[in-house]
A = this chain, B = another copy of it.
Amino acid sequence: MRVRDQAKAMLQAMISDGSLASDERLDEVGLSHRMGISRTPLREALIALEGEGFVRSVPHKGFSVTTANEEMVRELFPIIGALEAQALRMSGEAVIASAPVLSALNNRLANAKNKAKSHEIDRAIHHGFVEHCGNPRLLKLLETQCALARRFDGAAARGIANPAGACAQHAKIIAAIEASDLARAGELLLLHWREGEITVINWLKKNT
């Protein structure tokens, strides 16, 4: 594996989990020394991450972490909703056949012990919605946007008063899938992300 790929993965993880905070400046020489690599692969990793929205750069001033704030949620969540809904609509019989699996996952989500487990199962459900779409490019795009959204997992976990809400929405979506009405399921999925957007924003407003 190339050094730049490792660096990219490491930086992305550090941004997702908050080790590198919003707006934090990324000094190239300092960072490369701390990571035990040279500036070249680090810069290449940062350029790749810039395209995905994790960092920004301004000429002759360098890289910094993008800002995870309400504005980002307002922009990001509708994108994810639209892409997931489209993937679901494109999925055909394969998703319909997997409805029981999704239903089972949703039950596990309802009884999840901790927040980490909840997020894991939630991701599995949403992955199940889209994995059969037969559009790798769409899935990759979605994956990138979801990775960005993961920066708000903390807010989402604390923000959900009753996780039952999300489960209920999932159940409706799965019911539409079982009924072979993927158009309806897509609409509900879009709504689900709209709800998530509101939830996260409310949490952000209270806790800043």
Give the B-binding residues of A (Cβ under 8 A).
1-2, 40, 43-44, 47-48, 50-53, 59, 72, 74-76, 78-79, 81-83, 85-86, 90, 135-138, 141
Contacts and interface: CB of A to CB of B under 8 A. Distances in A.
13 contacts: A40-B40, A43-B44, A44-B44, A48-B48, A74-B135, A75-B135, A75-B136, A78-B138, A79-B141, A82-B83, A82-B86, A83-B83, A141-B141
A74 B82 CA distance: 17
**How many copies of this chain?**
2
A77 to B, nearest CB: 10
Contacts of A43: 44
Given A51-B52, A137-B53, A81 B86 contact: yes
Contacts of A82: 82-83, 85-86
A12 B105 CA distance: 43
Given A51-B51, A59-B2, A137 B75 contact: yes
**Considering residues A40, A72, A79, A82, which has the most beta carbons from chain B within 10 angstroms of its beta carbon?**
A82
Contacts of A85: 82
Contacts of A136: 75
